[in-house]
């Protein structure tokens, strides 16, 4: 019996990895919706290959091109934010939520409100709207399965265990491509996106270089695995072999190991609670030889400290942090600010002393996000 699936962000790294797995067992899947921002050619090709029911571009200005590309295929074409949410709301067995940034908030919430299973690769959704989103999951009986390799590792290590028996959750971090670079002020976008272990998009690659990715993951873990912030720690592990660990009160530590390939955690979600084959090469531990572990350097990379402080403050602070970081990363990639100013800008927006009240709905989260982006942009222009 085939299972139905929608993929939000089908042309990104997580989306294409998901479709690669589906392609290998196409008879087992029925693709309902595929979405992209404005990558019309690739989206149309994928929609035709997988016989999707609907293809959606978030950028409505690309809709006419999408309609032309799908002409005669029988595949419905739609565009704009509303169409994105309507596609996400179509009932399916599993929705892969892989839209980067706060742009994915509305579609993720639409999928949650259907009460289905959501494989969540959009960490910003839980960072910015953690309380709102977890409340919606409980209300609608939805199931969140984490796609991020670290959170998926924790999820696997918790199977068969009790959350109240957890002593520590340890998020591992590669340290990114700049861990040993001395002069961070001279780092170029090309250096920042050249991750040594993972093939990812530009934004998440820069986040890995600044360590904001790990800070956002700490906040996400706080919402997914309610053990308390004081029991979630970060360890730099350059080899990216151990994807995270859970230590129990009896002293046992369970770790999930695997290759640096997103198809592994994606497959875990697609097949849950069972397993499925992947084309990934098994680990060759003798060839790897040694595994190293280091404390994060929060002097040079303050992002994890800022994220923990935002999580401890609660309310709107995580949403403000995320919005400011998205503005700062975009400015860096556009060569408007040096790498070293990304964290400085986020800290200025966070600490200027007029944080908004805690958002109580998705609309309020989006208002906080919009206001924080405007403030971060103002600070960029004033500098």
Residue 37 annotated as lining a ligand binding site = no
| Residue 93 annotated as part of some ligand binding site | no
Residue 48 carries which DSSP code? H
Q: Where does the chain have alpha helices with state H?
A: 13-24, 40-49, 63-70, 81-88, 105-112, 123-140, 149-158, 189-192, 202-210, 212-224, 263-271, 285-288, 303-313, 317-333, 341-351, 362-382
Q: Is 207 annotated as a binding residue?
A: no
CA distances from 266 to 19, 88, 102, 145, 261 (A): 10, 18, 21, 9, 9
Flag whether 201 is marked binding: yes
Backbone angles phi, psi at 282, to 5 degrees: -70, 155
Q: Which of 173, 318, 319, 157 is nearest to 240 (CA)?
A: 173
Whether 147 and 7 have beta carbons less than 8 Å apart is answered as no
The answer to whether the annotation marks 340 as part of a ligand binding site is no
Which DSSP string corresponds to 337-374?
S-TTHHHHHHHHHHHSS-PPPPP-SHHHHHHHHHHHHH
Does 213 appear as a known binding residue?
yes
214 is in an annotated binding site: yes
Does 14 belong to an annotated binding site?
yes
- Per the annotation, does 150 bind a ligand? yes
Q: Is 12 annotated as a binding residue?
A: yes
Determine whether the annotation assigns residue 195 to a binding site.
yes
Judge whether 336 is annotated as a binding position.
no
Q: Which of 273, 260, 383 is nearest to 328 (CA)?
A: 383
As a dihedral over the C-alpha atoms of residue 308, residue 309, residue 314, residue 319, rounded to 10 degrees, the angle is: -80
Rounded Cα distance, 164 and 263, in Å: 30
- Strand pairing partners for 292? none
Instruction: Tell whether 148 is in a known binding site.
Output: yes
Q: Which of 7, 15, 69 is nearest to 41 (CA)?
A: 69
Q: Is 377 annotated as a binding residue?
A: no
Q: Which of 58, 48, 51 is nearest to 12 (CA)?
A: 58
User: Distance of alpha carbon 39 from its chain centroid, rounded?
Assistant: 20
123 is annotated as contributing to ligand binding:
yes
Question: Which residue positions form the known binding site for NADPH?
Answer: 11-14, 39, 122, 124, 201
Question: Which residue positions form the known binding site?
Answer: 11-14, 39, 122-124, 148-150, 174, 195, 201, 208, 213-214, 217
Question: Which residue positions form the known binding site for 1-deoxy-D-xylulose 5-phosphate?
Answer: 123, 149-150, 174, 195, 208, 213-214, 217
Question: Which residue positions form the known binding site for Mn(2+)?
Answer: 148, 150, 217
């Amino acid at each position: 019996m085939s299972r139905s699936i929608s993929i939000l962000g089908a042309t990104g790294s997580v989306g294409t990895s998901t479709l690669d797995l589906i392609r290998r067992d196409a008879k087992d899947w029925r693709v309902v919706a595929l979405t992209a921002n404005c990558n019309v050619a690739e989206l149309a090709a994928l929609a035709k290959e997988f016989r999707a029911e609907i293809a959606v571009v978030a950028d409505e200005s690309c809709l006419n091109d999408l309609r032309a590309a799908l002409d005669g295929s029988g595949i419905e074409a739609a565009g704009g934010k509303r169409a994105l949410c309507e596609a996400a709301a179509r009932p399916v067995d599993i929705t892969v939520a892989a839209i980067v940034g706060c742009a994915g908030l509305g579609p993720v919430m639409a999928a949650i409100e259907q009460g289905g299973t959501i494989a969540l690769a959009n960490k910003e959704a839980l960072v910015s709207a953690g309380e709102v989103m977890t409340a919606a999951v409980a209300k609608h009986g939805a199931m969140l399965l984490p796609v991020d390799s670290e959170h998926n590792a924790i999820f696997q290590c918790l199977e068969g265990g009790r959350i109240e028996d957890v002593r520590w959750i340890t998020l591992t971090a590669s340290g990114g491509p700049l861990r040993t670079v001395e002069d961070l002020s001279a780092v170029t976008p090309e250096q920042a996106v050249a991750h040594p272990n993972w093939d990812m998009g530009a934004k998440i690659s820069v986040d890995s270089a600044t360590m904001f990715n790990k800070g956002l993951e700490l906040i996400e873990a706080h919402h997914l695995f309610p053990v308390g912030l004081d029991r979630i720690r970060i360890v730099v592990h350059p080899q990216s072999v151990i994807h995270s660990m859970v230590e129990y009160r009896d002293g046992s530590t369970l770790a999930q190991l695997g290759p640096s390939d997103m198809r592994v955690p994606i497959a875990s979600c697609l097949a849950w609670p069972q397993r499925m084959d992947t084309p990934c090469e098994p680990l060759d531990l003798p060839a790897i030889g040694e595994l190293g572990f280091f404390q994060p350097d929060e002097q040079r990379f303050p992002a994890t400290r800022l994220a923990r402080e935002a999580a401890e403050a609660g309310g709107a602070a995580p949403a403000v942090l995320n919005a400011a970081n998205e503005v700062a990363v975009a400015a860096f990639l556009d060569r408007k600010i040096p790498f070293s100013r990304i964290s400085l800008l986020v800290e200025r927006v966070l600490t200027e002393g007029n944080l908004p009240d805690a958002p109580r709905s998705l609309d309020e989260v989006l208002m906080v996000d919009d206001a924080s982006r405007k403030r971060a942009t103002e600070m960029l222009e004033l500098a």
